[in-house]
Amino acid sequence: MTISFGWSLDLTGTSRRLAGILTVGFLGAALVLPGSALAAGPYDPVTDVNSMYNTTTYTGVRAWWAAGYTGAGVDVAVIDTGVSPVEGLATAGKIIYGPDLSLESQASNLTNLDTNGHGTFMAGIIAGRGSNAQPGTYATDMADFLGVAPDARIVSLKVGVADGGVDVSQVIAAIDWVVQHRTDNGMNIRVLNLSYGSDSAQAYGVDPLSYAVEQAWKAGIFVVTATGNAGYAFKNGTLTNPAYDPKIFAVGASDSMGTMTTSDDTVPAFSSTGSNSRTPDVVAPGTHIVSLRVPGSYIDQQHGTTGYVTDTLFRGSGTSEAAAFLSGAAALAIQQRPAITPDVLKKLFLDNARLLNGLSANKQGSGEVEMARMLGAPAYNAPNAWRRIAWSSGTGSLELARGTDHVSDDGVALTGEIDIFGHDFDSAAMATLEAAGNSWSGGTWNGNCWSGNSWSTGSWN
């Protein structure tokens, strides 16, 4: 299978897609694994600038915690390779499992669990919380692992398998499910983290994947997507689909340069760049970040000798990490301003970003978000000009939405206007159903039964 959930590895300074049986589109961890990851002696997050302790400190996130904003009451949907309840995500009620739409869903020992490692790593950045962390003390806690929004909940929809394999039809189905079920059983899904992208050249104005994320945005869900790990390209840029859709929020990566000051921060070479028509919205920490490890996962087995930090922690880089950071930040802002709309929240982030020295907007958009400044900043309505930006019709080609990324079975690639089940996909008909909010009927999507049709405690059957 060919996919791009890509832990695009950066072991030698050159960003590459993860190779494997499947080649996919998860953009997440372009792993930058420095030798220091294996440094002798016990790991100390206080001395590691890129630990979550220091990342939440120098970005100003801990000021939000001190003010009482920890993401409580906000649910973040993570469409990824699954999320495993490892230490840091093991607290009761931390993870809610939506349907497993991956090719591993029929293996009962793998259902919902993260065999790749990517989804758990992102969930840790967004909302991780060590089992010993005490509410009310997060701002001064130097010992426990804490993600950006430690009291937010994760709603996990698994679409990718061990080597990251996923088809764009699975991602669209997952987005649609989030939109339809965002308030089920007391849930409050207000943020969707999509550390995924294809290299599609199809215009966002007709693209089915772009249309799906726009429906989430219209439903009041703040959609955060990674820009990609393809680096710089002159004129046309390298933003992935759906990051190239100007209606949603696209996040590139920043690099702390190993210091606690943001004055020397820059954009790493792997972070995808924009064009004159669409730039990243902002950049956020995405280099050498330490988050949660899934022992025995694909990434752990393939790159544990360099990525290993401790028995529970791993190190990686990529625009996926940056998107995860921003998703956690969005949960904090939504807790502070429960009625805020996606457009107003987007404007709030853009207004409270600082331009990095010597870099074009194509690389950094409005710059690096300053969370401490944003805490007390006013929120303004979106500019009228945004209303003139066209929405997608969703009537384009599913095949073109894949770009060059295809899943395959025994060497036969899935191509054409068919979904992962081989069922015909009529994009215009699907767009009509999505606009009405009923593309899912129980466990059926696009004419096929993808999952069960009801909840059983904290999981979708």
404/241 Cα distance (integer angstroms): 12
Contact 293, 309 (CB under 8 A): yes
The reply to whether 291 belongs to the active site is no
The reply to whether 80 belongs to the active site is yes
Question: Which one of 254, 320, 427, 439 is the catalytic residue?
Answer: 320
Contact 255, 30 (CB under 8 A): no
The token pair at 76 is 């973040």
Question: Which one of 10, 48, 75, 80 is the catalytic residue?
Answer: 80
Q: Return the closest-CA partner of residue 403 out of 231, 219, 103, 168.
A: 168
User: b/e for 237-250, b at 16 or more Cβ within 10 A?
Assistant: bbbbbbbbbbbbbb
202/141 Cα distance (integer angstroms): 47
Q: Residue type at 15?
A: S
Task: Tell me the backbone φ, ψ of residue 324, rounded to 5 degrees.
Answer: -65, -45
Q: Phi/psi zone of residue 185: left (φ > 0), alpha (ψ -120 to 50 degrees), beta? A: left
The token pair at 180 is 């339809």
213/217 Cα distance (integer angstroms): 6
The sheet carrying 222-226 orders its strands as 353-354, 368-369, 282-285, 249-254, 222-226, 189-194, 75-80, 153-158, 95-97, 459-460, 455-456
175/40 Cα distance (integer angstroms): 43
Question: Which one of 10, 48, 118, 303 is the catalytic residue?
Answer: 118
The reply to whether 423 belongs to the active site is no
CA atoms within 13 A on the CB side of 222: 31
Asked whether the CA dihedral 119, 425, 277, 16 is positive or negative, the reply is: positive
What positions carry a catalytic annotation? Answer: 80, 118, 320
